[in-house]
């Protein structure tokens, strides 16, 4: 791996083409000429239609649903650029799939996040640039540099402008597993912190939602890294609303929005859900509560700093 290539080239597969175009606009660069399709049997076909020899190549691809198709597109694009003598290849993965499978929860479980890390390295990636890994320790699964950016920077700016006087507001972690990231966000915002603890008191009984912290009479912001089926988020919102929260806002970096998620959010007590566009909005999304913030400026700046060998930590 060289320090950096002779120039910057950004390419995109099919998962988040619009985000890649926006990144290039902020960088005043054209999006690289490439075509990613499938053969009749479903195999991935990649064509890079311009030279990448000696270039610093950035491949933008979220591994969102269909996860396996998008992951395979990224791996084949990396291989294509490596065999075309790219100077350095950075996999820009706004949403890193399989990140929830980061440990053995029971016997004979796979650690799929490690497998994906191995595949990216074997394909020829020299670096990985991503945002809000579900588990920060996944960076250690790689033997190449991994830059894990923080989406709370975007949310901090949004809520500071939306609520200039927010001293009495509270950040709420929807479960115990999200406490660390919620605490970091609360510190940035200068807000208090509350936690929703979910447990079953005995078998075959409904889950009891215990709220740790004071939310009565306050506006709350539920903070998480992703919204998948939205069950935990909506249940947490209901719990703090029953404890006296006057308004319930929510934000998460990755809007996976699987299955009944959109319907649940629409019917919940959540007043507004802010997501980042690391994953494109579902086609035909018709939910006034769900809104998106743009991460293209952050990724454009990170790519520029990576090429210039400048510090990314200064961004945060």
Tell me the pLDDT tens digit for each residue of 40-94: 999 999 999 999 999 999 999 999 999 999 999 999 999 999 999 999 999 999 9
Catalytic residues: 198
Provide the whole-model pTM.
0.95
Residue 314 has pLDDT above 90, yes or no: no
Could you tell me if 130 and 93 are in contact, meaning their C-beta atoms sit under 8 angstroms apart?
yes
Lowest mean pLDDT among 110-114, 142-146, 206-210: 206-210
Within 13 Å, how many C-alpha atoms sit on residue 97's CB side? 18
Confidence tier at 209 by pLDDT (50, 70, 90): confident
Q: Is the pLDDT of residue 199 over 80?
A: no
Q: Can you tell me the distance from the alpha carbon of 163 to that of 220, in angstroms, rounded to the nearest whole number? A: 12
Which residue did the predictor score with more confidence, 292 or 313? Answer: 292
Model confidence at 148, pLDDT cuts 50, 70, 90, reads very high
CATH topology of domain 152-293: Rossmann fold (3.40.50)
CATH 3.40.50.2020 in the chain is located at: 8-149+296-315, 152-293
Distance of CA 180 to the CA centre of its chain: 16
Q: Which CATH number fits domain 8-149+296-315: 3.30.2130.10, 3.40.50.720, 3.20.20.30, 3.40.50.2020?
A: 3.40.50.2020
Order the strands of the 290-293 sheet from edge to edge.
Answer: 207-212, 192-200, 170-173, 219-227, 247-255, 272-276, 290-293
- Could you tell me what percent of the chain has a pLDDT over 70? 96
Pick the range with the lowest mean pLDDT from 25-34, 36-45, 159-168, 273-282: 159-168
The mean pLDDT of the chain is 94
């Amino acid at each position: 791996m060289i320090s950096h290539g002779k120039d910057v080239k950004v390419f995109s597969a099919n998962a988040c083409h619009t985000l890649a175009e926006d990144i290039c606009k902020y960088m005043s660069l054209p999006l690289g000429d490439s075509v990613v399709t499938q053969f009749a049997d479903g195999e991935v076909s990649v064509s890079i239609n311009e030279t990448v020899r000696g270039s610093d190549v950035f491949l933008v691809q979220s591994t969102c649903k269909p996860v396996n198709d998008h992951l395979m597109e990224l791996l084949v694009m990396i291989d294509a650029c490596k065999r075309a003598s790219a100077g350095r290849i950075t996999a820009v993965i706004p949403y890193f799939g399989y990140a929830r499978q980061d440990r053995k929860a029971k016997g004979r479980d796979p650690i799929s996040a490690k497998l994906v890390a191995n595949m990216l390295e074997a394909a020829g990636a020299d670096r990985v640039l991503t945002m809000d890994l579900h588990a920060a320790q996944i960076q250690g699964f790689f033997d190449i540099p991994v830059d894990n950016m923080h989406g709370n920077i975007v949310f901090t700016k949004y809520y500071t402008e939306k609520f200039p006087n927010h001293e009495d507001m509270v950040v709420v972690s929807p479960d115990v597993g999200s406490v660390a990231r919620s605490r970091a966000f609360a510190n940035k915002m200068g807000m208090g912190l509350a936690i929703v603890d979910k447990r079953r008191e005995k078998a075959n009984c409904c889950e009891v939602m215990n709220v740790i912290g004071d939310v009565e009479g306050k506006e709350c912001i539920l903070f998480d890294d992703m919204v998948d089926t939205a069950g935990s988020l909506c249940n947490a919102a209901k719990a703090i609303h029953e404890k006296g929260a006057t308004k319930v806002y929510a934000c998460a970096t990755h809007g996976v929005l699987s299955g009944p998620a959109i319907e649940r959010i629409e019917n919940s007590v959540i007043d507004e859900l802010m997501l980042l566009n690391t994953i494109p909005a579902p086609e035909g999304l018709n939910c006034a509560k769900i809104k998106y913030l743009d991460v293209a400026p952050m990724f454009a700046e990170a790519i520029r700093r990576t090429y210039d060998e400048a510090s990314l930590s200064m961004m945060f």
